[in-house]
Structure 1
């Protein structure tokens, strides 16, 4: 089920000429068959109105951030072209998370069935109570940088920093391609 405001935003924006922006989403899961969770999320994102799915990185196993007494994660990065506004895309990704069993808890970096983060949204730089783009932690997270590098080795962030240069300072920390 797509959030109603996403459908409204899509209908409203298709009446105007709107350029698609390249968007990168980080996907992660470590509960309830994480590989299946990511594959279901990818399918849902491929069907999302107002977007055109391009491709997805390989799936990677990674160590959890924060508490270590939880299962390892499965991560990927997906590339889309998007005509939705950033907050409408956020609403849509959160609706997909909920549909696939995500329960939001106070515990940060705890185990979860699915997490979809907006990593980059074109050259936009946003920072409000709901959304920070580029994602606030992307420059330190191997499970974002290496899959992103796989998809877009020449990519530069809005501040001009290349993804490839970021990976030289971020160790793999056990990150392993699994599919």
Structure 2
């Protein structure tokens, strides 16, 4: 059994003595190219293997029709990870991008182009940011494929500046997502 870090304590970096708060993070995972399940499980494994990151739970897997994607795009597999970390938001973003790259994510000028792996930072503690990393994620409140798996893990969760996830979920089209109870992601 693993111990979940207490979000109310401060972790002192053993090398520098720097004090860093432990923050709760919500990550959304998606894949609609290649072996989608292998990409999602690989992302879970890579994130869990990141120093100063503790994955605490992973949602059920959902199959989702593409949203605002180019014509002919395949369905996504989506899931949400909850984790605790002492990493700064930008370092966590750098790690997410590196994991995407490891799974041959091709970046395109085409909005919502198909991808082998997509990792979005939805919430990083109570951090607000409006630079190249916008937090909380600016479209999370509109995305059933984020809200439903997150709600499965934390029915009482709130998306900062938007409201309770349960209420937000009532306002989005959930007919585009379907639970894939034949698929399961595991925390290593």
TM-score, length basis structure 1: 0.89
The Cα of 1:157 is off from its aligned counterpart by 2.2
Per the alignment, residue 9 of structure 2 pairs with none
Q: Match for 1:118 among 118, 121, 143?
A: 121
Decide whether the 8 Å contact of 1:54 with 1:80 is kept in 2.
yes
Decide whether the 8 Å contact of 2:141 with 2:159 is kept in 1.
no
Per the alignment, residue 144 of structure 1 pairs with 146
Matched, 1:70 2:73: yes
- RMSD of equivalent CA atoms: 1.7
More strand by share: 2
Ranges in structure 2 where 5+ consecutive residues have no aligned partner:
1-12, 184-188
Q: Match for 1:24 among 17, 23, 26?
A: 26
Decide whether the 8 Å contact of 2:144 with 2:172 is kept in 1.
yes
Per the alignment, residue 167 of structure 1 pairs with 169
Per the alignment, residue 53 of structure 1 pairs with 55
How many Å separate the matches in 1 of 2:117 and 2:17? 33
Per the alignment, residue 109 of structure 1 pairs with 112
Are the structure 2 counterparts of residues 13 and 104 from structure 1 closer, same or farther at C-alpha, using a change threshold of 3 Å?
farther
Q: Deviations over 1:39-67 (max 9, x none)?
A: 11111011011211111101110000122
Ranges in structure 1 where 5+ consecutive residues have no aligned partner:
1-10
Decide whether the 8 Å contact of 1:63 with 1:173 is kept in 2.
no
Matched residue SS, 1:18: strand
Say how many residue pairs are matched.
169
Instruction: Return structure 1 stretches of 4+ with deviation > 4 angstroms.
Output: 11-14
Q: Match for 1:131 among 119, 130, 133?
A: 133
How many Å separate the matches in 1 of 2:147 and 2:88? 24
More helix by share: 1
Matched residue SS, 1:61: strand
